[in-house]
Chain A
């Protein structure tokens, strides 16, 4: 066990509590917890990864609106096709599903970019395999011990040695992309993030729990991380939160989770990466004909409203800081759906997909990627939109140019020949160094070292 603390545990506890208490009521700044002169602290980029579970129907989200592919699309989707004249104009060849209109303004303003025919370069139509490959960042290999975000946090050269809350899975479970990460917290809502302790006995309980969970063991580490997160969130985030700029998040857990992310970003706890899930995309039946119905109302509308709310909430927040300048949001899903609709007004599992990238440094207002076409011989397995862009190419560019981590071989082992699509602004590191230094490990005690 690496325990770099030189003070006794009791001193540590008291010291930490005092530091947290001193901050309570005031707005925390990361300066208090991380070295302000550390490289990267000034930019302090934040990545939010939105994973749409179930496989979203890329061909109805960004349908072809003109040319021969419009014909193939209409022929294959007699019931489900989104009428071209109802789409929002993206390019002469493609339109956006009208239920995503909250995002359209962001596209027009150049904050939203779309990547089409992107996905996993592995033959699978299994949800669970595909999600695991994507989140581990190792297509074809499911035994990788860490997720791609974990490896980014471990290898990024610009992270300060102590961060209170570098990674968050918004929701009740920790994302696979953060597998093996000792510093990630899972949280659905700061207001229920509490042990509901008695006013007098809750704090002594927490102090005793720190002692009970001291040692070198995966469960002890998880519990210590929980107690640390509890201290931090309680002191910094409080329980009530009012979004800025009059924003209203959509009702439901997705909106709640997005709001929790915004709240924690503004609390300046050092949050670098947040993941969030939205399920319900496995539309084998009754997904809605044309531009209406389930996919539109139940799925795309809240997605668009939620992401637009997050972006607006973080824009020029409280007239203090425009967090969107540091923000990159990636929207991804395990695969797209079959070109041909099934007999149940639905679509079965497909292959090629679309990804959205949203943020203040995105070269938005464009569609990236190479369109493979929808003629039968152009389809994957004569059935699905082909993949012409590896999803890792999108993520790697963001990791490199926004998060300033050149170690792409570490984040995505086995991924070679990267070239930027030009999705985001920022300097590319060029040829990355062969090996990063020793992996950074955030230990709870080290994290708290700065509290003293």
Chain B
């Protein structure tokens, strides 16, 4: 950067540029030099070392609580039978899970079929005609997807698939319950966009998101036109979907932004947002109005609405009068291949799958794979494999707390309940603060423990546990006595069985077994058999208590 540029830029802009240059330089190093000394990225404040951190559990427990919605009975034993070493077991599990179509999912399929969610199989034009234009109810499709999402999280054996669907729904987050294009076409967004591309190529994923009616509507690009720009989509595309705010340089002269070795700007400024908004003019929805040729909810490029003048995007000059959609496609090309996007997507995936502040070595490794595989059809699968098979993955535990969705699905899985998500269930669940597709702003639900280790999130998951074990909620049945092997009669036997069954490991610390024994025994000798009626009376509350324990909340 020249002295003149620096002077023109002002101190704050210069500082932002310097920070970004440092990050860019680091990403250029093939083998990161920094040792993985801790689980905190540079620049993150260190929390005081805690003595109460939970011990590292078996790898199966880690896998089922971070790459799945918790273990159902039998899951951990099946994991342990996958190989003779942890690496062999993890490798085999990841091989299965990254090829979800090959996993038999008949139980989940049967439950979905029994649920009769009629919109799930309908193509986009039919959804549009029946639910947006017609009178069948605009929120029926998003309601059906919500039901299916819970059923899958609980019963699908394609667990990593469900974890990733949740991740990408929060990455490309849309408020689903608006009485609108988004709610009426939600099946399309979930099925044909999120789930269809989340294992594939990020550039193609980005294209599918950009032209989906739900996103075109939610971020207002469906009305973005040369006669009047709407920059909502363009701004969030840069900030939330690709480069992230770490690569945002604010209001500054685009000519002052340094370039990387490929001649691309190292970050974006407000001018890039305006130029991108112009690039996407005319990307709209076939909605029967203002020159649309049809009315079926599909994507429609309206050349007459497009701003054909020349543009400057991330330092790249785009001459005027390009072919249809070429301006917008260039923006997506530049963003999808930008190293800043690789760093941002990699760090978010690592935060979801490993730790709130993942080791920089892992983020760099995942970003390197993202960049190296950018032409590949399984680019995102390669990134996910890199993260899940890393040493850092196996070494991390207890840095995260389950969000309410993982906690709720995990409760039902651990209880092996016969479950259908009733209104009653949703009501209790949503009080914890994470109703599905219910985040109004486009940033998705947060993914750090500081956002979820609060009174509401904890209290409401405890409350859900109590209501589930008592069979209080409509359409949920659990028979705990029937699930307990015969012959277990003493407090010690009963407590130990359920600790192992629900958590897959002893209490941590071991002294936390005592309050459970005290609770179950209620003053009786824990070595002696409890009367059957006392077992029947107390068992649901004991089970709920184990599920409320810290051991059940860690990821």
B389 at the interface (CB under 8 A from A): no
A217 at the interface (CB under 8 A from B): yes
Identity of the chain B residue whose Cβ is nearest the Cβ of A230 in the assembled complex: B459
Verify B544–A215 contact, CB threshold 8 A. Answer: no
B355 at the interface (CB under 8 A from A): no
CA distance in complex: A225, B228 (Å): 51
A326 at the interface (CB under 8 A from B): no
B541 at the interface (CB under 8 A from A): yes
Q: Interface size class for chain B?
A: 35 or more
A140 at the interface (CB under 8 A from B): yes
User: Which chain A residues lie closer than 8 Å to B206 at the CB level?
Assistant: none
B327 at the interface (CB under 8 A from A): no
Identity of the chain A residue whose Cβ is nearest the Cβ of B249 in the assembled complex: A123
User: Which chain B residues lie closer than 8 Å to A25 at the CB level?
Assistant: none
Q: Tell me, rounded to whole Å, the shortest Cβ–Cβ distance linking B107 to chain A.
A: 30
Q: Tell me, rounded to whole Å, the shortest Cβ–Cβ distance linking B230 to chain A.
A: 5
Q: Which of B441, B514, B516 contacts A127 (CB 8 A)?
A: B441
User: Which chain A residues lie closer than 8 Å to B544 at the CB level?
Assistant: 205
Main secondary structure of the interface of A (DSSP, over half): loop
Verify A343–B228 contact, CB threshold 8 A. Answer: yes
User: Which chain B residues lie closer than 8 Å to A202 at the CB level?
Assistant: 466
CA distance in complex: A211, B515 (Å): 7
Verify B454–A222 contact, CB threshold 8 A. Answer: yes
Verify B232–A212 contact, CB threshold 8 A. Answer: no
User: Which chain A residues lie closer than 8 Å to B466 at the CB level?
Assistant: 195-198, 202, 205
Q: Which of A124, A201, A204, A349 has the most chain B CB atoms closer than 10 A to its own CB?
A: A201
Q: Which of B43, B220, B252 contacts A285 (CB 8 A)?
A: B220
B433 at the interface (CB under 8 A from A): yes
Verify B440–A280 contact, CB threshold 8 A. Answer: yes
The A80-112 residues at the B interface (CB cut-off 8 A) are none
A390 at the interface (CB under 8 A from B): no
Verify B44–A143 contact, CB threshold 8 A. Answer: yes
Verify B458–A223 contact, CB threshold 8 A. Answer: yes
Q: Tell me, rounded to whole Å, the shortest Cβ–Cβ distance linking A288 to chain B.
A: 16
A141-165 to B contact mask, C-beta < 8 Å, 1/0:
0011100000000000000000000
B225-265 to A contact mask, C-beta < 8 Å, 1/0:
10111111001000110000100101110000000000000
CA distance in complex: A188, B240 (Å): 28
Verify A216–B541 contact, CB threshold 8 A. Answer: no
If A212-B515, A215-B52 touch, whether A179 touches B455 (CB-CB below 8 Å) is no
User: Which chain B residues lie closer than 8 Å to A218 at the CB level?
Assistant: 47, 50, 449, 453
User: Which chain A residues lie closer than 8 Å to B514 at the CB level?
Assistant: 211
Verify A195–B462 contact, CB threshold 8 A. Answer: yes
Verify B512–A123 contact, CB threshold 8 A. Answer: no
User: Which chain A residues lie closer than 8 Å to B467 at the CB level?
Assistant: 196
User: Which chain A residues lie closer than 8 Å to B548 at the CB level?
Assistant: 195, 205, 209, 212
A185 at the interface (CB under 8 A from B): yes
B470 at the interface (CB under 8 A from A): yes
A296 at the interface (CB under 8 A from B): no
Verify A125–B245 contact, CB threshold 8 A. Answer: no
CA distance in complex: A282, B270 (Å): 18
B295 at the interface (CB under 8 A from A): no
The A194-242 residues at the B interface (CB cut-off 8 A) are 194-198, 201-202, 204-205, 207-209, 211-213, 215-220, 222-223, 225-226, 229-230
B529 at the interface (CB under 8 A from A): no
Verify B456–A173 contact, CB threshold 8 A. Answer: yes
B423-465 to A contact mask, C-beta < 8 Å, 1/0:
0000000011100000011010010011101111111101100
Identity of the chain B residue whose Cβ is nearest the Cβ of A204 in the assembled complex: B519
B373 at the interface (CB under 8 A from A): no
Q: Which of B47, B52, B270 contacts A125 (CB 8 A)?
A: B270
The A267-308 residues at the B interface (CB cut-off 8 A) are 279-280, 282, 284-285
A342-383 to B contact mask, C-beta < 8 Å, 1/0:
111010110000000000000000000000000000000100
B45 at the interface (CB under 8 A from A): yes
User: Which chain A residues lie closer than 8 Å to B50 at the CB level?
Assistant: 216-218
Other A-B pairs, 8, CB within 8 Å; known A54-B441, A195-B548, A212-B545? A143-B45, A173-B456, A186-B454, A212-B549, A220-B52, A342-B228, A343-B227, A381-B270
- CB pairs A–B below 8 angstroms (5 shown): A125-B273, A198-B466, A226-B454, A226-B458, A342-B230
6 tightest Cβ-Cβ pairs between the two chains A and B:
A343-B228, A172-B433, A217-B52, A215-B52, A123-B250, A222-B453
